[in-house]
Amino acid sequence: MDRQATTARQVSPLFWSVGSVYVLVVTVLAASGFIIDSTPPILLAAFLSLPASAIALPGFYMAYGLLALVPGANPSVISSSTRSCTADGVCSRSTIGDQATWFVVTTDAIGVLALTCAALLNLLAIKILADRRRSGVRSALPLLIKGEAPGNALGDGASDQERRTHRDAGPADE
């Protein structure tokens, strides 16, 4: 492989700088949202990390649900609430207990990690697509839409004579 081909496949420092800022922004938004228990920063981080966050968030909720099955994690197991009403009809409710600290910390960390990994996966996908575009590797999808096989230079509409000519020419003429 010559030197020019090697340098063409390297990723520019600008790509890594912008990519690092992108991942950092998603991570900070996700972390701030999970730490302060606020939905808007989490949703913004999820939006910024689309399309990979479409897989990451259901994975997070599956992990959350599995962790909630651990004894002592679910607030309904370790908390109690009382409700009292006065003769005037004014009612009040008080709750004692919270979610287990380990549960909150673990699920918050998993949520931040899920969105950060989604942003990293998006960055990797962009790099792979850019490398393919630069190297000239094309997807087989346009050929399949036209009715051609990916490895076949002749489509299904080729005549028998064209196929024989193409086959007899051999790989050197292709």
β-sheet bridge partners, residue 83: 93
Residues 129 and 143 in one domain: no
Closest CA to 117 of 39, 34, 40, 30: 30
For residues 103 and 132, what is the distance between their CA atoms, to the nearest angstrom?
43
What CA–CA distance (Å, rounded) separates 84 from 93? 6
User: Are residues 109 and 125 in contact, defined by beta-carbon separation less than 8 angstroms?
Assistant: no
Per DSSP, the residues of 94-129 read EEE----HHHHHHHHHHHHHHHHHHHHHHHHHHHHH
33 or 144, which is more confident? 33
144 and 129 assigned to the same domain: no
74: containing domain: 3-137
What's the structural domain count of the chain?
2
Residues 52 and 130 in one domain: yes
One domain, residues 107 and 159: no
pLDDT grade for 147, boundaries at 50, 70 and 90 = low
pTM: 0.63
Instruction: Note whether 105 and 43 are same-domain residues.
Output: yes
* pLDDT 10s digits, 64-110: 999 988 887 765 544 556 777 788 878 777 666 677 888 999 999 99
